[in-house]
Amino acid sequence: MPTHPPDKLLIATHNPGKVREYESLLADLPIQITWLDAEGIDLEVEESGSTFAENAILKASAYARHSGLWTWADDSGLEVEALDGWPGVNSARHAGPHASDADRTAILLQKLKDVPPEKRTAVFRCVVALATPDGRVWTTSGSSRGIILNEPRGSGGFGYDPVFWVPEYERTYAELSPHEKHAISHRGRAARRARELLLKLLSD
């Protein structure tokens, strides 16, 4: 590890919703949180991996080399069991480069229109990768199970949150408070594990 711990951590995303979640999660760590837009980084990293872990590592490693900063990247997505795991690693891309969250969700709901509620089970998965500019990488993961509704509910969150129903809360991700969502979400679970790892690395 470096003699002096890094004073800044790059979150490798352009998504302000994701940045807000991570800023909250990492608020008490002795490191400044920044992100691609704040650093003026417009490098695009192709997510060519076949798994969430491969894509997270690709992004973290590339942005760490490019920026010279320790970098936190994640890849996450929705695996719908009735669709054989689709959209999976293509969750953010299956509708094309300029599609909105609503566009992607509409396509998902169309594919599930004839699927009964008991068959609409799904798993959100997330892998977080931490990378240093000199090429070291660590990963953590998390998952969360739910059911895909027939139509969106709630105004919070982003992505597929409005149609991802959490049975134990009887609400969608988009209807949960940020605190509630952090506690059970795939990203929250992966991120808490990555946070503990990062804390250890910073203290070594």
- Name every residue whose Cβ is closer than 8 Å to that of residue 8 and which is 6 or more positions away in sequence: 31, 32, 33, 34, 69, 70
**Catalytic site positions:** 75
Mean pLDDT of 132-147: 96
Helix, strand and coil in the chain, % to nearest 5:
40, 25, 40
Residue with the bigger pLDDT between 184 and 157: it is 184
In this predicted structure, the answer to whether residue 2 has a pLDDT above a threshold of 50 is: no
Q: What is the pLDDT of residue 34?
A: 95
189-202 pLDDT per residue, tens? 999 999 999 989 88
Q: What is the pLDDT of residue 172?
A: 96
Cα 117 from Cα 84, distance rounded (Å):
16
Q: What is the pLDDT of residue 3?
A: 43
CA 25, chain centre distance (Å): 13
Cα 36 from Cα 13, distance rounded (Å):
6
**Cβ atoms < 10 Å from Cβ of 49:** 16
In this predicted structure, the answer to whether residue 27 has a pLDDT above a threshold of 90 is: no
Mean pLDDT of 122-136: 96
Q: Which residues of 94-105 are buried (b: 16+ CB within 10 A; e: fewer)?
A: bbeeeeebeebb
Cα–Cα distance list, 111 to 51, 107, 116, 123, 188 (Å): 22, 6, 12, 16, 28
The pTM for the full model equals: 0.88
Mean pLDDT of the chain: 92
75-111 pLDDT per residue, tens? 999 999 999 999 999 998 899 888 999 999 999 999 9
Task: Quickly state the pLDDT bin for 4 (edges 50, 70, 90).
Answer: low
Whether residue 98 contacts residue 51, with contact meaning beta carbons closer than 8 Å, is answered with: no
Q: What is the pLDDT of residue 5?
A: 64
53-77 pLDDT per residue, tens? 999 999 999 999 999 999 999 999 9
Query: Side chain identity at 190, as an amino acid letter?
Result: A
Provide the 3-class DSSP secondary structure of residue 89.
helix
The CATH classification number of 8-203 equals 3.90.950.10
Q: What is the pLDDT of residue 11?
A: 96
